[in-house]
Structure formats: structure tokens, C-alpha cells
Amino acid sequence: MSGWEVFQIWLGAFLTVAIFSFMYKDNPLYKAAEHIFAGITAGYYVALYLDTVVYQQLWVPVTHNGRVWLIIPGILGIFMFGRLWPKLTWLARFGLAFIMGTTAGVFLASELHGNVLGQMSGTMQIQQVAGQPNYVLTALVVIGLLATLIYFYFSKPHTGVLGVTASVGIWFIMVSFGAHFGYTVMGRVSLLIGRVYFLYNDWIGTMR
């Protein structure tokens, strides 16, 4: 192992331990590691966007492929920097309005086809387990769907049968939130295991 590789391992170990030090209390080492991480991340994404967006999708098409019309979104992008000067803030509104409008349209269509229609299709089909139809699971899916939708039906007070159904919907929502939270925790624990493995195997391994 070269000296440069050893230096990289020790630097990574130092930053990892500095981040973990926040579990004790807020301290200058943690703040320094946090600022380094934020700065490197910002610098990386600036360089990434300059190469993949400004250069590859604007400069090259305009100068080499003759797609001059791309100058218009380029100008809108430049207008976004008007937020840095109070007197030119109004220029940024053109770029923001274009981005919000196109993003809303694209995501609305993608969510509709990717999630809404897919979920509707999956709900209206017989659920299967191990390749065999499972009518109990199908009934559970339908009940959960209807109860959850009724919970978000606010045109009438949730009293009587409507209130009982809405209460059932709350249980299904909580189960869903719990599953998503557990999945998130598992992902974070996986990251923690990776860093602990790095400290034990790579960092301590350089001192053996």
C-alpha cells in the first residue's frame, strides 16, 4: 500500500470519527467535517452540472450542431443568477416560472402513468402469493384502499360508519408510515455498518 493510499484512509477515518463525535456533543471537529462535506458536495455538483448540462447540453449543441434555439433556455438560466442582486431579482422569476411549469407537467404525467394508473391496476386485480390467488390479501388491499380514501374525504364529518371507516384508514396509514420508516432506518444502518467496517478493516488494518 502506497503512502498516498494510507493518507487517504487516515483522512477518511478522521472525517468519519469527527462526524461520529456529534453523538457526544456538538464540537469544532464535527462542524469542520460538516463544512468540508457540504463544500465538497457543492463543488462536485457545480462541476457536474457545468459539464453535463452547460457544456454537453448547451455549448456543444449550439456551437457544433447548430441548435441555436437552445440559447433561449440558456438565457433563462442566466436570469436565475438575478437572485444574487436585489434589483435584478425580477429576472429570476422568468426562469423559475418556466422550471416550475415544465417540471409540474412532466412529473404529473410520469406520476400518473408510473404510480396512479399502476396502483389502480394492481388494486383491481386478484392478489397472488407464490403464484396462487389469495382472496384474503385481495380483500385486505381493497379495504385498506377504501378506508384510506375515506379518511381523506373531508366533505362530511367523520361520524358513524364514516368515522369508523376513517379510523380503520388511520391504521393502514400508520402501518404504511411505519414500513417506510423501517426501510429508511435499515438504509441508514447499512451506511453505518459500511463506515464501521471501513474503520475496522481499512483504518485499523493500516496499523497492524
The confidence band for 123, taking pLDDT boundaries of 50, 70 and 90, is: confident
Read off φ and ψ for residue 153, nearest 5 degrees: -95, 105
Q: Is this prediction's pTM over 0.85?
A: no
What is the helix (H) or strand (E) element at residue 118, kind and residue range? helix 117-123
**Mean pLDDT rounded to a whole number for the chain:** 91
**Is the CB of residue 80 less than 8 Å from the CB of residue 87?**
no
Share of the chain above pLDDT 70, in %: 100
**Is the CB of residue 149 less than 8 Å from the CB of residue 169?**
yes
Q: Is 151 exposed, middle or buried (0-12, 13-18, 19+ CB in 10 A)?
A: buried
**Is the CB of residue 93 less than 8 Å from the CB of residue 102?**
no
End-to-end CA distance of the chain: 13
Q: Where are the domains of the chain?
A: 127-208
Supply 64's cell numbers: 457544433
Mean per-residue pLDDT for 158-179?
93
- Over 90: is that where the pLDDT of 2 sits? no
- Over 80: is that where the pLDDT of 1 sits? no
3-state helix, strand, coil in the chain (%, to 5): 85, 0, 10
CA gap 21, 28 in Å, rounded = 10
Residues 6+ apart with CB under 8 A from 143: 168
Mean per-residue pLDDT for 44-70?
93
CA gap 111, 115 in Å, rounded = 5
The confidence band for 18, taking pLDDT boundaries of 50, 70 and 90, is: very high
Tell me how long the chain is: 208
pLDDT for residue 91 = 92
CA gap 169, 149 in Å, rounded = 7
pLDDT for residue 148 = 93
Q: What is the 3-state secondary structure (H, E, C) of 134-153?
A: CHHHHHHHHHHHHHHHHHCC
CA gap 155, 161 in Å, rounded = 15
